[in-house]
């Protein structure tokens, strides 16, 4: 089918390369990779995700019978809003709803999702694919790191976002999801619009990262350089880049999976980390590179 071409690795990687490069080399991501992240930002990032997923899932429900989206309707497997609500209750307390607000950078992202759901539901495919498949990719790699770095309970409080109760085999589910997308029939114009929308979704995420980076400048909290480096600091050795390692790990390369695990496990001195939004960007990068 015509849609299958759109989601082939080469077309997707080429079409999102600029967005990926911006994410990989942004100051916020470089700070994360060095471990220079402040704990308070974790809570703000979780709140931002809550508003984004609330919008996505509200619009999916409204359009679940749309012929373009019906094959991708997996609420029990994918929905994240309730999981994020649990995380926010753990982080802020029972009155968490009165303590959070939709940030200036998150609001345009949320508004765009509602606009798409109302005026062009086909483009919801791009938003759902960008977020959910990213969460099932690199985001999963960082779950245990988040628990250890933030000293969260091993029972999952604070990181419910990562736990997909309805998915027992993420790799198999992603394969199913991609096969469903490949079966969708769209024309060339719609195919281009979907690619553009995926890039736009990536840019909205980057806007949130930039906002968090700026907020972090005014938060007085000790951070620690743990030795991660951005891809651009690798001196040409891309195998040392966490994005590259994540890509190879999720593609089934056990050598890189082990290397990435070792790279993470070496960071035992981490005290604080922005785990939720950063896991999301790592997931996005891993998914885009697959």
* CATH number reported for the structural domain that contains residue 25 in this entry: 1.20.910.10
pLDDT classification of 245: cutoffs 50, 70, 90: very low
pTM of the model: 0.77
The boundaries of the domain holding residue 33 are: 7-218
Chain mean pLDDT for the chain: 77
Asked if 177 and 84 sit in the same domain, the reply is: yes
Between the ranges 7-11, 94-98, 285-289, where is the mean pLDDT highest?
A: 94-98
pLDDT classification of 196: cutoffs 50, 70, 90: very high
User: Is residue 225 included in any domain, yes or no?
Assistant: no
Beta-carbon contacts of residue 17 (< 8 Å; ≥ 6 apart)? none
Query: What does each C-alpha distance from 178 to 14, 66, 132, 135, 268 come to in angstroms?
Result: 18, 18, 12, 14, 36
Question: Mean per-residue pLDDT for 78-106?
Answer: 97
Question: Mean per-residue pLDDT for 68-74?
Answer: 95
Q: What local confidence, expressed as pLDDT, does residue 243 receive?
A: 44
**Total tally of structural domains belonging to the chain:** 2
User: Is residue 229 included in any domain, yes or no?
Assistant: no
CA-atom Rg of the chain in angstroms? 18
Asked if 156 and 190 sit in the same domain, the reply is: yes
Asked if 20 and 144 sit in the same domain, the reply is: yes
- Rounded CA separation 264/260 (Å): 6
Question: Mean per-residue pLDDT for 108-137?
Answer: 93
Asked if 33 and 134 sit in the same domain, the reply is: yes
How buried is 55 (Cβ within 10 angstroms: 0-12 exposed, 13-18 middle, 19+ buried)? buried
Structure tokens at 101: 């607000």
What is the per-residue pLDDT across 132-188, written as a single tens digit (0 to 9) for each? 988 887 666 667 767 777 788 989 999 899 899 999 999 999 989 988 888 888 888
């Amino acid at each position: 089918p015509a849609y299958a071409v759109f989601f082939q690795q080469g077309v997707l990687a080429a079409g999102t390369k600029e967005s990926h490069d911006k994410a990989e080399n942004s100051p916020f991501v470089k700070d994360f990779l060095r471990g220079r992240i402040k704990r308070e930002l974790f809570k703000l990032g979780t709140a931002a995700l809550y508003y984004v997923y609330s919008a996505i899932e509200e619009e999916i429900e409204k359009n679940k019978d749309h012929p373009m989206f019906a094959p991708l309707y997996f609420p029990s497997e994918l929905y994240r809003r309730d999981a994020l609500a649990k995380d926010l209750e753990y982080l802020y307390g029972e009155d968490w709803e009165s303590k959070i607000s939709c940030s200036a950078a998150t609001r345009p992202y949320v508004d765009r999702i509602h606009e798409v759901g109302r005026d062009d539901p086909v483009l919801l495919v791009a938003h759902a694919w960008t977020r959910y498949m990213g969460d099932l990719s690199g985001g999963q790699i960082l779950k245990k790191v988040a628990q250890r770095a933030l000293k969260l309970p091993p029972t999952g409080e604070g990181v419910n976002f990562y736990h997909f109760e309805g998915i027992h085999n993420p790799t198999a589910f992603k394969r199913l999801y991609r096969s469903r997308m490949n079966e969708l029939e769209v024309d060339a114009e719609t195919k281009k619009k979907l690619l553009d929308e995926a890039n736009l979704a990536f840019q909205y995420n980057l806007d949130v990262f930039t906002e968090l980076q700026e907020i972090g400048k005014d938060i007085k909290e000790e951070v620690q350089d743990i030795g991660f480096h951005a891809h651009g600091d690798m001196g040409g050795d891309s195998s040392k880049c966490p994005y590259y390692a994540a890509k190879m790990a999720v593609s089934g390369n056990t050598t890189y999976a082990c290397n990435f695990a070792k790279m993470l496990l070496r960071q035992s001195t981490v005290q604080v980390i922005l785990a939720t939004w950063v896991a999301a960007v790592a997931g996005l990068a891993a998914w885009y590179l697959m």
